[in-house]
Amino acid sequence: MKEFAVYTGLRILLFVASLITVMLIWSLFTDGRVSAIWPVVIAFAVSGVLSYFLLNRQRDAFARKVEERASRAASAFEQRNAREDTDDS
């Protein structure tokens, strides 16, 4: 699933970029002391909001691929059930 790998990779990249940015800004305001948890929490929230807007095309492509696979699986399931029903008769 290429779409999954692309979307996940971009989400990770966006989180890392957000974390670096938040840690740099945090260190400017706290004289170089950066605690571990708050920059991670803030970067997680920022990257989540940014990914909603910036990764819309990749998310849609991934969703379409998942929908196609689910549709094929449902169709195959229905065909197996129909064959079983005709075999039992």
Walk along the chain (89 residues) and give the pLDDT tens digit of each residue. Answer: 788 899 999 999 999 999 999 999 888 888 767 677 989 999 999 999 999 999 999 999 999 999 999 899 888 888 888 877 676 65
Range of the domain at 67: 2-88
Q: Does the pTM exceed 0.85?
A: no
For 45, what's the count of Cα atoms within 13 Å in the CB-facing half-sphere?
6
How many domains in the chain? 1
